[in-house]
Structure 1
Amino acid sequence: MPSSAIPAASATPWREALGEMPNPLGLLGLEFVEYRTARPQALGHSLERLGFRPVARHRSREVLLYRQGDMNIIVNAHRGTDEPPLSPHGELAAVALRVRDAARAVRQLSALGAWPVHRTVEVMELNIPAIHGVGASQIYFVDRVGEFSIYDVDFIPIPGVDPRPPAIAGLHWFGIVQYIGWERMEDWCAFYRELFGFAELPDAQRFGVLPSGRILASPCGTLYWQLVEPVADALDADPDELLQRVAFGTADVMAAVAELKARGVLFVEAAQGVHSDDRGALTLPSDDGPSFEFVRDPR
């Protein structure tokens, strides 16, 4: 990776963040998630209730960057000529993983059979390398983090806005929940294990209030990936394969729930035995946006 990609002050903490598992891509955590929506203002209001703030606008597309703490969420309302229709409720369309060398990561994944994403970028836009993920989603790889980041190239800061709004209730990235098809568990476990170095957790090790499926841990120890199969008449039943929701970690779920309720966030309280407790909580999906999960982080 070019020496300018990671500032010197960040090098040591990032090395310390690497776990003991093999880390073939040099994963360093989650950089951003992207939602595609036909109603960006509605989704933006939903994110603001969660504590996110719009901090920058894309230079040439209808795209906004929301942030709190170390978490970045991109709200994309731009539709290209070859892209599918935008979802009115917000579709989790992409995740971006921090790596030591993005170009090398995609070359390595391509050699293992992953499908690179080929796109045409506009003048003054970064070409962020990516591969195809589940459904129509994409997985980006970012190695520009810190003092000079991808947002400094593609986005214009919103005047008068704090570019680093603090996280409420200590919220941080915890994981991604992915719905998979019938009898596809072993295929997807192999995908994340062989390409990214994720490891399956024992069945006894569970997080949150929806402990179905299988949980994989990233080799950098900062991200969990939950694979959920369809179950008849269950809250998590969905026949499609897709990225379903984001999970935020917090040290105190009930304190976070209380603060978020005061901000107008609604939670699932009595659906098939699911309710907020000290293990986790799930927000209600609405016309403003999708559901989000909150999990007590054991780390």
Structure 2
Amino acid sequence: MSAWLLDPAPAPAREPLQASHSDAHNPIGLDGIEFIEYTTLKPQALGQVLEMMGFQPVARHRSREVLLYRQGGLNIVVNANPVDALGAAHGGPQPVIGAVGLRVRDARAAREYVLSRGGWEVPTHPEAMELNIPAIHGVGGSRLHLIDRWRDFSIYDVDFVPIPGVERQPPALFPLRFFGLVQYIGLARSPDWTAFYETLLGATPIPDEQRFGIMPAGQLMRVPAQQPANGFLLQLVEPAVDALDGDAERESWQRIGLGVPDVLAAVRTLRARGVEFVESEAAHSGQRGAITKAYLGSVVFELVQDPLAAQP
């Protein structure tokens, strides 16, 4: 995805913030995740994994080696542009989450806010006919995009061309939403990243006694949203002290959390499509959650019991 600056839509086109989600609690008007982008040099192999998970390719980027996959209201972008893929993966062969698109009420105002509080802007060079979307640096060289066009006018309407004969809005296999993202961080780096997300996104730490899914490690943070069903969680996980090495200290996005109302029903559906889940003493599928095996060495999805996923 390209980055820089979107011209703001006229004021009447914007939905006002709800009183329960005031600027004090949601300083940049967040309203969920618009897309998650993987970068990879093996887009066909990654595409097969995404299709097993229920995502379908619906559009191609106008000028780059980028495909848009979708199911229901969830968008995953597969970026196979060699420069992007090699840079995001630090030369490694595995796919990585290279960018996250965040829906905001006003991209211009959100950009000014995060830059004024220490965010580092990503310099980019969009091609002709591409939107300029602001972004800041995230973990491991990834980007956090700020997007304010997703309702009547979508970023995909400009940057992508629909694949002929393909349903542009393929239905989801079952009710689901982006529940959250897991981020691996360096030893003793939790305070730094907690402050980063508190300061720039208005995220708030969740007490340790509140846990979701089946993976208990790490600091949980709740990211606000204008609509409660669009909110999501961040999980910051430090390496175990007895497992420290160069790879353990590398910071990156590690997996995507998908909220579903019925985990075991979702597991049955996905297993029938060939998806394998981790079944061990430490982690096994249950009504609280389930986790897939690591496909292509790095692509992992976690299912989490989430009543909000059933809401329209």
8 Å contact from structure 1 (residues 181, 230) kept in 2 = yes
Distance 1:298 1:213, change over 3 A: farther
Q: Which residue pairs with 1:72 in the alignment?
A: 75
Q: Which residue of 1 aligns with 2:172?
A: 167
Selected match of 1:118 from 123, 132, 140: 123
Taking structure 2 as the reference length, the TM-score comes to: 0.87
Equivalent in 203, 212, 219 of residue 214 of structure 1: 219
| Pairwise CA distance, 1:15 | 4.1
| Deviation at residue 83 of structure 1 after TM alignment | 5.8
Counterpart position of 2:302? 293
Post-superposition offset of 1:239: 2.3
Within 2, Cα distance between the matches of 1:288 and 1:262? 22
Supply the AA of the counterpart residue of 1:194: T
**Alpha-carbon distance between aligned partners in 1 of 2:22 and 2:304, rounded to the nearest angstrom:** 21
Q: Which residue of 1 aligns with 2:63?
A: 60
Letter in 1 for 2:62: R
* 8 Å contact kept, 1:37–1:87: no
Letter of the aligned partner of 1:3 in structure 2? P
Q: Please state whether the residue corresponding to 2:83 is helix, strand or coil.
A: coil
Q: In the alignment, residue 234 of structure 2 is paired with which amino acid?
A: W
Q: Assess, with a 3 A threshold, how the Cα gap between structure 1 residues 94 and 81 changes in structure 2: closer, same or farther.
A: closer
- SS of the residue aligned with 2:59? strand
Distance in 1 between the 2:293 and 2:54 partners? 16
2:145 equivalent to 1:150: no
- C-alpha distance in 2 between matches for 1:253 and 1:157: 32
Aligned mates of 1:23, 1:125 — CA distance in 2? 29
Q: Distance in 1 between matches of 2:85 and 2:103?
A: 27
Superposed, 1:69-148 pairs within 5 Å as 69-80=72-83, 84=87, 87-148=92-153
Q: CA deviation digits over 1:92-150, x for unaligned, max 9?
A: 11101000111221111111111001111110011110000111111001000122110
CA 294–143 in structure 1, closer or farther in 2 if over 3 Å, else same = same
Instruction: Report the 3-state secondary structure (helix = DSSP H, G, I; strand = E; otherwise coil) of the residue aligned with 2:274.
Output: coil
Q: How far apart are the structure 2 equivalents of 1:247 and 1:82?
A: 22
2:258 pairs with 248, 258, 264, which one?
248
My pick for the range that moved more, 257-266 or 282-291, is: 282-291
Structure 1 contact 79–86 (Cα < 8 Å) conserved: no
In 2, distance between residues paired with 1:105 and 1:23? Answer: 11
Q: CA deviation at 1:289?
A: 6.0
- Say whether the 8 Å CA contact 2:110–2:146 is kept in structure 1: yes
Supply the distance in 1 between the matched residues of 2:263 and 2:11 (Cα, whole angstroms).
38
Contact kept, 8 Å, 2:134 with 2:145, in 1: the verdict is yes
Judge conservation of contact 1:128–1:142 (CA < 8 Å) in 2: yes
Q: In structure 1, what is the equivalent of residue 48 of structure 2?
A: 45
Residue 3 (1) aligns with residue 10 (2): yes
The runs of 5 or more residues in structure 2 that have no matched partner are 1-7
Provide closer, same or farther for how the CA distance between residues 192 and 289 of structure 1 changes in structure 2, counting only shifts above 3 A: closer
Aligned: 1:231 with 2:231: no
Counterpart of 1:184 in structure 2: which amino acid? R
Q: 1:260 aligns to what?
A: 270
The root-mean-square deviation of aligned C-alpha atoms, in Å, is 2.3
Q: Give the match's secondary structure for 1:259.
A: helix
Per the TM alignment, residue 238 of structure 1 is displaced from its structure 2 partner at its CA by 3.1
List per-residue Cα deviations over 1:128-183 (Å, max 9, x = no partner): 10000111111001000122110000000011111111111212110010011111
How far 1:80 moved relative to its partner? 3.0
Show CA shifts across 1:164-221 (max 9, x none).
1111121211001001111111111111011110011111110011011111001214
Q: Which residue of 1 aligns with 2:4?
A: none
Q: Report whether the alignment pairs 1:180 with 2:189.
A: no
SS in 2 for 1:119: coil
8 A Cα contact 1:179 1:227, kept in partner: yes
Q: Distance in 2 between matches of 1:20 and 1:145?
A: 20
Deviations 1:75-101 (A, max 9, x none): 000023896266533101110100011
